[in-house]
Structure 1
Amino acid sequence: MDQEAQNTKKEIPDESDIQENPENNEKVNAESETDEKVNEKLTKKVQDAYSQNEDFQDKYVRVLADLENLKRRQIKEREEAVQRTRSQIIGDLLPTLDAFQMGMQEVEKDESTKNIFVGISMAYKQMENILGEYGLELLDPVGTEFDPKYHEALSHQVSKEVEEGFIIQTIRTGYKMKDKLLRPASVIISQGSKETEQN
């Protein structure tokens, strides 16, 4: 056993042997320097990966936001294009509505054309209802105050019944679609009574 203990003792170097042996010191120092460099490199790679990940996440969020904005803009542009097209088509039909109105006024005067009047007025009402479903609104402002945004003054008349600045008669119906004016109503405006002007 003594021999085994001696052999084992020879295999395990003493701390004093390690400190005295410069080769061992260099190996230990080299290993610890290598470990530190590896740790530094790994730490830097991990930090770079985190930084890159944050950049990618930021870019991802921005791209998602841009995509949502693009979708909203496309929907809005599509709705505006549909509205613009409707306004153009309905604007082109306004002279037809005027022709219906004039035709109804003429045939209404004659008793012999009463059946024609009924037919024309039914067709006019039907067309008016269809266009109304697409957002067309009539401006027939008799009795309301004159508003240059929606009315076109053709003349002024003295009137005892209608207050000054209010509309007496609509000569041509105006139309608007949603908030967009397609055509102002052509109107005659009251000047009030002559007695009011003299006082």
Structure 2
Amino acid sequence: MEDPQENNIDDNGTSDKVSDDNSGHSDESTAAKADEESQDRLETKLTEAYGKQDDLQNKYLRVHADLENIKKRAIREREDAVQRTRTQLIGDLLPIIDSFKMGLSEASKHDEAKSYVEGFAMATNQLESILSEYGLSIIEPTDQAFDAKFHEAISYEESEDMEDGIVIKTIRNGYKLGEKLLRPASVVLSKKIKEEN
């Protein structure tokens, strides 16, 4: 007859083996799950890292574009300030040039002032030459058609030879700085004499 304790041991031994086999299988599935979770976490972190890199690159590009715009705006503002200053300064000099020219015109009527006239004429021409290097140009429209953008009609004279609206005389020269009008030319226009029937 078999010893009941041996059966217990066998039964226990067998049951121990089965539980050992099950625990080995569950250890593998747990390890597989852990590996899968670890891989998921790594993929999530990698996706987040790529997202952060894209955000940083976009921020860098925006900041770089803003910096370029600021540089361009600063250059444009500096050029505008220089142009405004130049326009104001040259505009302030125009009445002085007019005064020199009127003085020269009057002085040239006297023979004894001839040497002074020549000297002042040279100085006036030199001043106009220097200002022309900065973009100043004279509007002297005598014998041209009237242009309201650049001329200012102050009177009319009747003429048999000329059509209406031709500049007969320039009373005061006009000036442009580059393409900007500083002062229109003051002119006298022709007015055709109407023939009476």
The residue aligned with 2:120 is: 120
CA RMSD after TM alignment: 1.8
Matched residues in 1 for 2:118 and 2:174: separation? 23
After the TM superposition, which of the residue ranges 86-95 and 158-167 deviates more from structure 2?
A: 158-167
1:89 aligns with 2:89: yes
Alignment of 1:165 with 2:165, yes or no, is: yes
Provide the rounded CA distance (Å) in 1 between the counterparts of 2:128 and 2:154.
25
**Counterparts of 1:1-199 in structure 2 under 5 Å?**
21-195=21-195, 198=196
SS in 2 for 1:194: coil
Post-superposition Cα deviations, 1:101-123, rounded to whole Å, max 9, x if no partner, equal 10111011122211111111111
1:142-168 CA-to-partner distances (Å, cap 9, x unmatched) read 111111111111001112333211111
Q: Which has the larger radius of gyration?
A: 2
Count matched residues.
181
Deviation at 1:76, TM superposition (A): 1.1
Residue 18 of structure 1 and its aligned partner are, at CA, apart by 8.1
Over 3 Å off, 4+ runs: 17-20
CA distance in structure 2 between the aligned counterparts of 1:117 and 1:135, rounded to whole angstroms: 27
Q: Cα offset for 1:173?
A: 0.9
Deviation at 1:19, TM superposition (A): 9.1
Please give the alpha-carbon distance, in whole angstroms, between the structure 2 residues aligned to 1:180 and 1:187. 19
| Structure 1: gaps of 5 or more residues | 1-16
What is the CA–CA distance in structure 2 between the aligned matches of 1:108 and 1:75, rounded to whole Å?
48
One-letter amino acid of the counterpart of residue 148, structure 1: A
